[in-house]
């Protein structure tokens, strides 16, 4: 048998085999191997002189709506060209193998759904959805007048991406369902997240409180590493398929 690139602890495979309810939290790291830059990677090209935290806020949008709209248009383009990677696909496969499976993502790229995952909680919204800044209601289509950002066909307010910006509350039902899935699962996987952004970053610790086995998959340590039951050091696009290979074995 070809030498596995990553050795997965056998007791982790056992825990996965016996899992009744598995909950997964992903961050931008799982999309890195799809060519989507992580949130804290240096912004490339045109955007290199902006920090995401300075653009992903309602204040930034009020100050310069055109700049913020164009940043999201650039990211939407990039995501449209990206494809789900082996890590996204492995999680879609895992969902089929576990009796109860909840996938919580901080990502706004929609790649989990494109990989076939079904039960996805998008904590921070989705970059492919647009809403009215005034009404806070989704807009499906608008007049292409060339104005940037475009206007709401209902009230004339400016349109914005349907994502959760810093200092904006997360959708009640999303964070409520996510917290319950973290607290009530027996296995929790935290994949590709620096654990810097709240309340998402508190979910793995809720899982520990609830007595779950917690697994972290990340090439570098994070504030969760010391508390995790298993810390697998490497890229999710390689580790997750290896886990699925050993599960099937
Ligand atoms: C809220 C959508 C309240 C937009 C995003 C002080 C302490 C605690 C909290 C706060 C505080 N001050 C302010 C806050 C609150 C704030 C917060 O947490 N700030 C942080 C920065 C301190 N949180 C908020 O504002 C939240 N709202 O609290 O509201 C409220 C209540 C009522 C009324 C009003 C307000 C809203 C937070 C949501 C912000 N929106 N995204 C957009 O995308 O444009 S967050 C953004 O960061 C992304 O969603 C991203 O997912 C998220 C976290 O980043 P990561 O996903 O972890 O990405 P990162 O780049 O950091 O890390 C990537 C990781 O992957 C790395 O570890 C890397 O090693 C790893 N990796 C790389 N390659 C791979 C890999 N892993 C695996 N495989 C690989 N190949």
- Using a 6 Å cutoff on CB, does residue 108 contact ligand 1? yes
pLDDT at residue 48, rounded to an integer: 72
Confidence of residue 3 (pLDDT cuts 50, 70, 90): low
- Please answer whether residues 188 and 25 qualify as being in contact, where contact means their C-beta atoms are separated by less than 8 angstroms: yes
* Residue 21 appears among annotated catalytic residues: no
Residue 242 has pLDDT above 80, yes or no: yes
The preferred substitution site among 6, 171, 174, 198 for testing ligand 1, maximizing ligand atoms within 8 Å of CB, is: 198
Tokens (6 digits) for 121? 């909680």
Q: What is the pLDDT of residues 56-101, one digit of tens each?
A: 999 999 999 999 999 999 999 999 999 999 999 999 999 999 999 9
Closest ligand 1 atom, CA of 193?
A: 57
pLDDT band at 249 (very low <50, low <70, confident <90, very high): confident
The residue from 21, 88, 112, 124 that is catalytic is 124
Q: For residue 35, is pLDDT > 80?
A: yes
In the reported structure, the alpha carbon of residue 166 is separated from the centroid of ligand 1 by a whole-number distance in angstroms of 8
Q: Which of 197, 201, 231 to mutate to test the pocket of ligand 1 (most atoms within 8 A of CB)?
A: 197
Instruction: Say how far apart CA 110 and CA 65 lie, in whole Å.
Output: 23
Secondary structure in 3-state letters for 124-184: CEEEEEEEECCCCCECCCCCCCCCCCCECCCCCCEEEEEECCCCCCCCHHHHHHHHHHHHH
Extract the tokens encoding 81.
Answer: 């060209």
Q: How far apart are CA 99 and CA 247, in angstroms?
A: 15
- pLDDT tens track for 141-168: 999 999 999 999 999 999 999 999 999 9
**Ligand 1 contact via 106 beta carbon (within 6 Å):** yes
Q: Of 174, 42, 162, whose CA–CA distance to 108 is shortest?
A: 162
Greater confidence (174 vs 2) lies with 174
Q: Is the CB of 202 under 6 A from ligand 1?
A: no
33 C-beta closer than 6 A to ligand 1:
yes
């Amino acid at each position: 048998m070809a030498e596995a690139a990553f050795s997965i602890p056998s007791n982790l495979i056992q825990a996965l085999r016996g899992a009744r309810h598995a909950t997964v939290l992903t961050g931008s790291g799982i999309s890195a191997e799809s060519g989507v830059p992580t949130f804290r990677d240096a912004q490339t090209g045109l955007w290199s002189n902006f920090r995401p935290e300075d653009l992903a806020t309602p204040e930034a949008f009020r100050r310069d709506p055109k700049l913020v709209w164009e940043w999201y248009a650039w990211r939407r383009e990039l995501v449209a060209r990206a494809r789900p990677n082996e890590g996204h696909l492995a999680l879609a496969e895992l969902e089929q193998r576990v009796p109860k499976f909840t996938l919580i993502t901080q990502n706004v790229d929609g790649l989990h759904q494109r990989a076939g995952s079904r039960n996805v909680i998008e904590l921070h919204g989705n970059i492919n959805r647009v809403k009215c800044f005034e009404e806070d209601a989704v807009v499906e289509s608008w007049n292409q007048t060339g104005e940037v950002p475009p206007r709401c066909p209902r009230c004339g307010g400016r349109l914005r991406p349907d994502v959760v910006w810093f200092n904006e509350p997360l959708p009640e039902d999303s964070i409520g369902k996510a917290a319950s899935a973290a607290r009530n699962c027996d296995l929790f996987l935290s994949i590709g997240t620096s654990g810097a952004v709240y309340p998402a970053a508190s979910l793995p610790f809720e899982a520990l409180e609830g007595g779950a086995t917690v697994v972290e998959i990340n090439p570098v340590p994070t504030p969760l590493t010391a508390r995790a039951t298993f810390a697998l050091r490497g890229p999710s696009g390689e580790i997750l398929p290896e886990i699925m290979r050993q599960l099937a074995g």
